[in-house]
Amino acid sequence: MSNITLAEEKTNSVTDSNIALFNPQYLTAISNFAQMMASGVATVPKHLQGNPADCMAIAMQAAQWQMNPFAVAQKTYTVSGILGYEAQLVNAVISTRGPLVDRINYDWFGPWDKVIGKFEVKKGDRGEYRVPGWQMADEEGIGIKVWATLKGEAEPRELTLLLAQARTRNSTLWADDPRQQLAYLAVKRWARLYCPEVILGVYTIDELEQRNEKEINPGAPASRVSVSQLTEPAAAAQQQSSAPPVDSDGIAADIRAAIEQAKAPEQTTAIRAQVEELKQKLGITDYTELKNKVVKRHRQITTATTVNAQLKACKTQEEFSAAEALVRRSERDLCADDLERFQIALDDMRSEFKE
């Protein structure tokens, strides 16, 4: 954390990003800095290269936090077109810029041995990744208490958070190191409750991901079905009332994998139909999640197909400009790999269609 924190200025320089909007001199200076920052290659992440507007927003935020803008930039990412900040950076900001007498204290409690080191290794399009290998029942009683004392107060303010309360877990670190991830989340929630002004308008990936509805009356535990059963005709899927119920968790896991592996719109359309057929078995939580995922994946595939076709059809400067504009408009609808692939293709084609 210390490597990204600048020493506090002794002069009364303007560092409040809100005041900067009304200070023409400061606004011009930071705008020029953002232009220079956006021209970086190795010093800024891909989503900020050639993007002075976002660079300016990050520079203003870094100035308010009194941190190195380039270090802050390396801790950012985009989710559905929205700029997010890594949890490590947010925690560093809370610890160094919050109105605290001391640093935040941590106390983990419960049977953490049930989840620490209990992960499974799976393979995806981008290689191997880890997922939690424990059940929800194993999380019972596991949690963390964080506390710190605000300036001007004598008693610390506390917040207790259970692992089961961490609903959105997008990072694979939830499988590798759930203790650290829960600590990050607890500090973030503590700050939003007791000193929200420090991280106002700053969000991490767990907050940017869409939250699904929660089923409050889940059905009884069920037995598992195979992937092949998901693709059987609808008539074969009909079961008598005396048949054992299916394992909704197993079905959901299989459908998630199928969504990730889908490469054609016909596949996502078929998966979408399966999700609808299995709505009652899945329950509202898994159904809503899977429906959103397959719709998003379908949009990614169809958008990528459209962009790819337009790029291949480019023969004139006007057609190239139209394709370039289409890629910019489609950023929110493309997966990260496709967006990077198209941006590289545009860079390669730019010299050919240069005016």
Using an 8 Å Cβ cutoff, are 158 and 145 in contact?
yes
- In a domain, residue 6? The reply is yes
**pLDDT for the residue 236:** 42
**pLDDT for the residue 182:** 92
Q: Torsions phi, psi of 109, nearest 5?
A: -140, 160
Predicted confidence band of residue 110 (pLDDT cuts 50, 70, 90) = very high
Structure tokens of 147? Answer: 């506390």
Is the same domain home to 160 and 257?
A: no
Structure tokens of 145? Answer: 């208490």
- In a domain, residue 221? The reply is no
Is the same domain home to 268 and 324?
A: yes
**pLDDT for the residue 218:** 52
Is the same domain home to 283 and 338?
A: yes
Give the β-pairing of 119-124 and 127-132: antiparallel
Q: What is the pLDDT of residues 318-352, one digit of tens each?
A: 888 888 888 888 888 888 888 888 888 888 787 77
Helices 336-350 and 279-312 cross at an angle (nearest 10°) of: 0
Is residue 15 over pLDDT 50?
Answer: no
Cβ burial, residue 203 (10 Å; 0-12/13-18/19+): middle
- In a domain, residue 289? The reply is yes
Cβ burial, residue 174 (10 Å; 0-12/13-18/19+): buried
Full DSSP string of 60-120: HHHHHHTB-HHHHHTTEEEETTEEEE-HHHHHHHHHHHSSBSSPPEEEEES-GGGTTT-EE
Predicted confidence band of residue 205 (pLDDT cuts 50, 70, 90) = low
Residue 272's alpha-carbon distances to 70, 207, 249, 269, 333, in angstroms, are 42, 26, 17, 5, 18
Is the same domain home to 29 and 105?
A: no
pTM of the entire predicted model: 0.49
- In a domain, residue 7? The reply is yes
From 39, 74, 109, the end of a domain falls on 74
- In a domain, residue 86? The reply is no
Is residue 232 over pLDDT 70?
Answer: no
- In a domain, residue 100? The reply is yes
Tokens 């998630």 sit on residue: 256
For the chain, the farthest-separated pair of C-alpha atoms sits apart, in whole angstroms, at 78
Using DSSP, state whether 197 is helix, strand or coil. Answer: helix
- In a domain, residue 355? The reply is no
Single-letter residue type at 49: Q
Is the same domain home to 341 and 258?
A: yes
Using DSSP, state whether 128 is helix, strand or coil. Answer: strand
Is residue 246 over pLDDT 60?
Answer: no
Q: What is the pLDDT of residues 251-261, one digit of tens each?
A: 788 788 888 88
Is residue 86 over pLDDT 90?
Answer: no
Residue 13's alpha-carbon distances to 27, 69, 70, 148, 155, in angstroms, are 13, 16, 20, 29, 33
**pLDDT for the residue 258:** 85
**pLDDT for the residue 17:** 52
Using an 8 Å Cβ cutoff, are 200 and 102 in contact?
no
Residue 82's DSSP bridge partners are 79
Structure tokens of 151? Answer: 């300036």
**Between 346 and 206, whose confidence is greater?**
346
**Residues 239-246, mean pLDDT to the nearest whole number:** 40
Is the same domain home to 108 and 166?
A: yes
Is the same domain home to 58 and 109?
A: no
Is residue 144 over pLDDT 90?
Answer: yes
Give the β-pairing of 76-79 and 82-85: antiparallel
Return the sign of the alpha-carbon dihedral for residues 21, 24, 30, 32: positive
**pLDDT for the residue 235:** 43
With CA atoms as reference, report the closest residue to 190 among 278, 291, 106: 106
Please count the other Cβ atoms lying within 10 Å of the Cβ belonging to residue 217: 6
Is the same domain home to 68 and 102?
A: no
Is the same domain home to 201 and 101?
A: yes
Q: What is the pLDDT of residues 266-314, one digit of tens each?
A: 888 888 888 888 887 778 888 888 888 888 988 899 999 998 888 888 8
Domain total in the chain = 3
Predicted confidence band of residue 248 (pLDDT cuts 50, 70, 90) = low
Using an 8 Å Cβ cutoff, are 302 and 318 in contact?
no
Is residue 201 over pLDDT 80?
Answer: no
Single-letter residue type at 66: Q
The H-or-E segment that residue 147 falls in is strand 143-148
Tokens 């709505």 sit on residue: 279
Single-letter residue type at 266: E
Single-letter residue type at 274: Q
Is the same domain home to 113 and 142?
A: yes
The parent domain of residue 284 ranges over 227-235+246-350
Is the same domain home to 21 and 105?
A: no
- For the chain, the average pLDDT equals 78
Is residue 39 over pLDDT 80?
Answer: yes
Is the same domain home to 344 and 250?
A: yes
**pLDDT for the residue 207:** 52
Using an 8 Å Cβ cutoff, are 118 and 111 in contact?
no
- In a domain, residue 20? The reply is yes
Q: What is the pLDDT of residues 173-199, one digit of tens each?
A: 888 889 998 998 898 888 888 888 777
CA distance 111 to 142: 6
